[in-house]
Amino acid sequence: MFNRGMRHAAFLALGLLSTACGEQEVATQQLQALAPDEASGLENDAVYHSQYPKGQTFQVRLAGLDTPVTAVLKGNYAFVGDQVIGEVSGTQVISADKQVILRLDGDTQVGAMGSGIVNATGQKWPGGVIPYEIDPAASAETRSAFAGAKADYDAKTSIRWVPRTNQADYVRIVTSDGCWSYVGKIGGRQDLSLGAGCGVNPARHELGHAVGLAHEQVRQDRDSWVTVNAGGSQNAIDWGSAGTPIGSYDFESMMHYRNYFVNGRWDYVPKNGFPPEQVGNDRVNTFTPGDLGAIRAIYGGGTTTGVCFYADSDYKGESFCATSDSAWVGTQWNDRISSVKVSPGYEYTLFNDINFAGSGLGCGCDVPNLTQYNFNDLTSSFRIKRP
């Protein structure tokens, strides 16, 4: 399950950071040996593990790691756990940084080509703005998970997921086999899958990958913070540390792997006394301060600044933020605003006609539902007073 964490950017790392999400299955006897709560947690993770892509395997070296890791070839993609490292192009598998990492002969793999070292680290999205489109065939479950995770990014970070118009670089949200994503912006269209079982928490994790975050437990200083026990439930891929760390190790980050208790020991044993049963994001189930700090370190700014407008009540749905007046909110947003969140010191006045005309509503406060002021879906222009 993606109760995982990390606090470094893959595009700031030495190479693509590895993951073990797709390779492990939890044995029945291991579940039976655990306490009920622990067994339940592992069962939940086993459900998620069953959703991760599985297929033909091959070995590939990731930049920053000394030994090869196991990648999976399924459909048109090559995966390391939940992270996409390449796509099939004809009889080749091409990494995100345009290296040939595998040649294909029908259904038979021939082998890794070239240096065999993948350095597909991705890039920052300019201004923290990520254009997206949702595949028309995406399921209702996929759409709901994406909307919930997007609302969390909108409300708590400077990242803006915006509907794509004609942008060349964008993320396409699809319903595919499992929960997976590229890391950072690779250029052109890049798919992000929220398959069956991928709820809001896994979606937040996958959107984090697209933003540029990799897994916490592969940061360069990992071994200074935790002891990793071999032979547990996690794939050996996690033994390789890579990536530029930001801030202190975050045991509860949304990008950190869940901590399993298998064969009488924890996979990750914190060296500073942090409770091992709390490693992972299950208890937090949202961004940690460390997650938010990492995003700020990469993209600048803080949480949303100014006045933010949301299409749905309770600060959900599509959104945008502003720090200055607008005499016309545009056809996309005219008469389509249902809730408002305001940064400290800002004030706003909403008008139901363009050019600051018609009925108005002024406040320096958050309004979770404009219906209470009979102003739901009426905004056509607004004025903003800065602190």
Lowest mean pLDDT among 52-56, 74-78, 381-385: 52-56
* Residue-wise pLDDT tens digits, 3-53: 333 333 333 332 222 222 333 333 323 323 334 344 334 434 433 344 456
Which of the residues 206, 216, 252, 318 is marked catalytic? 206
Separation CA 188–CA 167 (nearest Å): 9
Decide if 122 contacts 132 (C-beta within 8 A). Answer: no
What is the pLDDT averaged over residues 171-192?
92
- pLDDT in the model for residue 15: 26
- pLDDT in the model for residue 313: 87
Q: β-pairing, 170-174 with 129-134?
A: parallel
| Active site annotation includes 206 | yes
* Residue 367 confidence class, pLDDT cut points 50, 70, 90: very high
What token pair was written down for 223?
A: 């071994």
* Residue-wise pLDDT tens digits, 216-228: 887 878 888 998 8
What token pair was written down for 292?
A: 């938010």
- pLDDT in the model for residue 107: 58
* Residue 211 confidence class, pLDDT cut points 50, 70, 90: very high
- pLDDT in the model for residue 24: 30
- pLDDT in the model for residue 232: 57
pLDDT value at 129 more than 80: yes
What is the pLDDT averaged over residues 66-74?
75
Binding site membership for Zn(2+): which residues?
Answer: 205, 209, 215
Distance separating the N- and C-terminal Cα atoms of the chain: 43
* Residue-wise pLDDT tens digits, 297-352: 888 765 456 788 888 888 877 777 777 788 888 777 889 999 998 887 889 999 99
pLDDT value at 140 more than 90: yes
- pLDDT in the model for residue 241: 53
Separation CA 130–CA 124 (nearest Å): 10
- pLDDT in the model for residue 387: 78
Binding site membership: which residues?
Answer: 205, 209, 215
